[in-house]
Structure 1
Amino acid sequence: MQHFDLVIVGGGLAGASLAAALRDSRLKIALVEGMPPRRPEGWDARVYAVSPANAEFLERIGVWKHLEASRMEPIRAMEVRGDQGARLQFSSFAAGVPELGWILESSLVSCELWENVKRQANIELFSPARPTALEIRHDAACLFLEDGRALSGRLLVAADGRDSWVRETAGLSARNSHYREKGVVANFACTKPHRGVAWQWFGQDEVLAYLPLPGQRMSMVWSLPDARADALCALAPADLAERVAAAGGGVFGALETITPAAAFPLRLMRVPQTVAPRLALVGDAAHGIHPLSGHGINLGFQDAAELAALLGRAQPWQDIGDMHFLERYQRARREETVLLQGATDALRRLFRVEAPPVAWLRNAGLGLTERLPVLKNALIRYALGRI
């Protein structure tokens, strides 16, 4: 059995960023990943909105400066529309910042993180590798791989996604609320410049977002009931482009599909206990939210940043797998996660209600927020990660 201080299962964005954030620590780290990331041909249909606070995190861990600038687009402004004409606007100029965030392809960040950890002196990579058994002992977590190798660590971190094998095997419960919706993603070329503006439309049973990509391109995320999402994915590329352009009122002009539509099921996932003796959860293994907020990956990066800071401050005599030690991480991350999960879930359910008084109320709320600078500024600061 090989012995480590820290064993991370999952080399995606949260797991790899945690490993990279510990590059200057004294910890000996094992990173277990089933399949290393790779770049698709053309553009990646899966993109993320990365907040300025998390861009700074990626800068601190040595990743941001290596990302290809021509594949990244700053968000200069946001337009949010309700289903009865209400509107809410944000701009980087009004907020006094260079940008509200960045749109990046998932694989762009994943591959650069992977290259970083491959060069990291205190990490041993186990990839491709898959765990088959887990034992939590009083002094270590022992992980057994399908190729016969065995690893032990004072702390095991589950970064293996929403359907986390580690979380399930360790017996930590996850409470899932299925929206009976899917998020449909695709990329398009536009005939009108987007000028760095992200758009979002709230409908009674849908949320549509246009996210700016470099050049005259944009990425769409459209949350729809299952049947409508499947029908959208079945459209021919030209019909898909026409349907998406019409849904957005032609704000980016005519569209041309450049990546096929893909869909993924949406659910709210709450994990009451994100730590246990010898175990901590990060990223999608620890929480799941509706994509309407655009904050899913930002929560994961902040999990990694918080846990890395805690581990980095640990003294040699401290047991990093002790429950009392790990509870500091859980307390530090609980408030933001619960707040964002509750807010996005409530907002999505609010726009599902058909009753006219509720429809008026939710649109009035958007309009009121637009007219209240204090509330609007608070939302901007939260989006920037400055609260």
Structure 2
Amino acid sequence: MDFNDSPEEAAFRAEARAWLAAHAPAHEIPPGAKMSDTEEAARGRAWIRELYEGGWSGLTFSRELGGRGASGIEAVIFAEEEGRYHLPKGPFVSIGTGMALPVIARHGTEEQKARFVEPTLKGEITWCQLFSEPAAGSDLAGLRTKAVRADDGSGDWIVNGQKVWSSWAHLTDWGILVVRTDPGVPKHKGLTFFLVDMKTPGIETRPIRQISGASEFNETFLTDVRIPDANRLGAEGEGWACCMTVLMGERLGSGAHRSGVATLLDYAAATPDGHGGTMLDDGAVRQQLAEALAEEQGERFFQARLRTMVSKGENPGALAGMVKLAYASRYQRTNGLALELRGLAGIAGEPGDSATGDVQYDYIYSTVMRIAGGADEVLRNQIAERVLAMPGEVRMDKDVPFEKLKA
């Protein structure tokens, strides 16, 4: 695969770079800026609106649905250029564009696509993910939140249960929800997928205070929540397939296109080595930076290959987990290296040193990435079994109805 831009791709990159240079700076978050989650959400919506108005939102979606009809590789190019700016594009934005819309596009009806795609691309609808539960995280198929048909003949579903680690659920408009609708079949086969209005009576969100001091994650409780059957995505029992579409989008959307090393180089160049030079003069530091850069470039090219597969209608499957696995570990290592460069100042930065404060926050948050979207251990198992064709782990629950499994 040739990773150099073709003439057409180079022209697209130049167009994207020029547009971003004219519009992105006004939306950037200044280094060290502290803001409430409400303000961050508002800024995220504003940036999505700007992208839509400029014709850069939902690049791979058809123009009929509000997108641009661009290729997968063009989406990669734009992500690379956009990644040069510190923009409000955290989970509040990416869950909608990178997770909800791909599953709606693949499994939704034409009515659902018309209802949700363009408003999401405009920033009018934001999304959260209601997957994990207190006893079903890495083993998502073990979830116990259940849905049964309403007994009034309406065809609606009544949902009861609890979700956890629901990013931004307290501020978003809609959620993508997977529940158990048939406990009489093996656990992967009895799941169904829904789109749920987060303002529906019976939904309660409770923010979780994190070690970083933020509270973007939530516990979400669903008590007799009524969901119309029109909000069911895919067929009954097709929930696992929908989940895999979501998780593939999440893993492919991991930050391999963002350059953490470029920032790290600047950071090293600005850090005195105590001998009249900077940390870039240290051979051991340069070696670590070179290794990080090589990993980053490899991830970038591999991610571009997988996105190209998706644009051709192919399914990368477990290969997508390799992007997320590599990015999460590199993200943690590069932030750890940044703190090491600062020495004792990395533990207690000087007043006004916003750069070190940002690195401290990123290092703490990096632990989340080793779990969210698939824990490292789970992804390694998937890659071993489904990519390398190694023997699978023994599964005692295979082909056993969920209701007969021990709690």
TM band (smaller chain): under 0.3
Q: Which has the higher contact order (CA 8 A, sep 6+)?
A: 1
- TM-score (structure 2 length as normaliser): 0.27
More strand by percentage: 1
- TM-score (structure 1 length as normaliser): 0.27
More helix by percentage: 2
